[in-house]
């Protein structure tokens, strides 16, 4: 397990050891260790603080944008994809307490787990430091995304994008090959997107829908990397 002090330095805040450990405790680890508390309540709290902080910043900094565009940008910044990207940049994965099943399936790099943990860390920061410090931390982490055109794509329904792209380019039917693994309390799904008999992307998630969306996003990035004729 990586040093928690290094993580706190990257976050730029102080969180007491007990609260930090709770924020990093995934339900799979809690289940395997006698049903100890998980980070899910902190995640719930952090989600609200994240949404409030981003909404306020967008309202203040973009006075000319209509409500629909503000909502689109907020959705992008608080999306699983965006939060997971932040978590990877901060190297959060190596600090998460995971059950053996999640470890075997590389849970430390699953977007859903990383995003949930980021929200829990925001909640932990709030409990230990108050709303101003928590809001400052949130804005340090998400500010680059607020004006990043690519980040706005995180709000896109990737499945719809792929469906339209496949139809317009005559790539054949879009098929999602989805498999599930793990016990019911920690079920994980893997999706593989297939077009015209070829695999274009993969994704993981705690639901079939989440795995399919991630696979569609992966396929979209694959398609964008193909040189134009």
pLDDT at res. 150:
54
3-class SS of residue 224:
helix
**47 annotated active-site:** yes
**Structure confidence at residue 132 as a pLDDT band (50, 70, 90):** very high
pLDDT tens column, 77-101: 888 888 988 999 999 999 999 999 8
Tell me the average pLDDT across 100-123. 92
> What distance in Å separates the CA atoms of residue 39 and residue 47, rounded to the nearest whole number?
12
Tokens found for residue 145: 């995304």
> What distance in Å separates the CA atoms of residue 42 and residue 88, rounded to the nearest whole number?
20
Tokens found for residue 126: 């709030």
**Structure confidence at residue 9 as a pLDDT band (50, 70, 90):** very high
Q: Tell me 97's DSSP state.
A: B
Sign of torsion over alpha carbons 21, 22, 27, 29: positive
pLDDT tens column, 218-228: 888 788 766 54
Determine which one of 47, 102, 214, 218 is catalytic: 47
pLDDT at res. 155:
54
Determine which one of 102, 119, 212, 214 is catalytic: 119
Task: Please provide the average confidence, as pLDDT, over all residues in the chain.
Answer: 88
Lowest mean pLDDT among 14-28, 116-130, 155-169: 155-169
pLDDT tens column, 160-188: 878 888 888 888 899 999 999 887 777 88
Task: Consult the annotation and say whether 5 binds a ligand.
Answer: no
Bridge partners (DSSP) of residue 198 are 195
Q: Which of 224, 45, 46 is nearest to 138 (CA)?
A: 46
**67 annotated active-site:** no
pLDDT surpassing 50 at residue 229: no
pLDDT at res. 28:
93
Task: Consult the annotation and say whether 116 binds a ligand.
Answer: yes
Task: Consult the annotation and say whether 119 binds a ligand.
Answer: yes
Listing DSSP states for 9-24 in one string gives: HHHTS---HHHHHHHT
Q: 96: which residues sit within 8 A by CB, 6+ positions away?
A: 24, 26, 107, 108, 113, 114, 117
205 phi/psi in degrees, rounded to 5: -175, 170
């Amino acid at each position: 397990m990586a040093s928690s002090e290094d993580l706190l330095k990257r976050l730029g805040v102080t969180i007491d050891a007990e609260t930090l450990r709770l924020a990093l405790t995934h339900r799979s680890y809690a289940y395997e260790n006698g049903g100890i508390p998980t980070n899910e309540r902190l995640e719930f709290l952090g989600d609200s603080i994240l949404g409030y902080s981003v909404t306020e910043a967008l309202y203040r900094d973009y006075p000319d944008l209509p409500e629909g565009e503000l909502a689109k940008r907020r959705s992008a910044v608080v999306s699983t994809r965006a939060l997971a990207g932040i978590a990877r940049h901060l190297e959060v994965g190596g600090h998460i307490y995971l059950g053996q099943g999640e470890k075997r399936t590389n849970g430390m790099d699953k977007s859903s787990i990383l995003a949930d943990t980021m929200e829990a860390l925001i909640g932990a920061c709030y409990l230990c430091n108050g709303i101003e410090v928590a809001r400052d931390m949130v804005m340090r982490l998400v500010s680059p995304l607020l004006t990043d055109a690519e980040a706005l794509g995180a709000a896109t329904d990737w499945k719809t994008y792929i469906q339209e792209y496949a139809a317009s380019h005559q790539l054949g039917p879009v098929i999602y090959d989805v498999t599930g693994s793990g016990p019911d309390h920690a079920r994980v799904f893997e999706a593989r997107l297939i077009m015209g008999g070829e695999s274009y992307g993969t994704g993981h998630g705690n639901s079939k829908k989440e795995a399919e969306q991630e696979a569609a996003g992966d396929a979209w990035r694959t398609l964008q990397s193909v040189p134009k004729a």
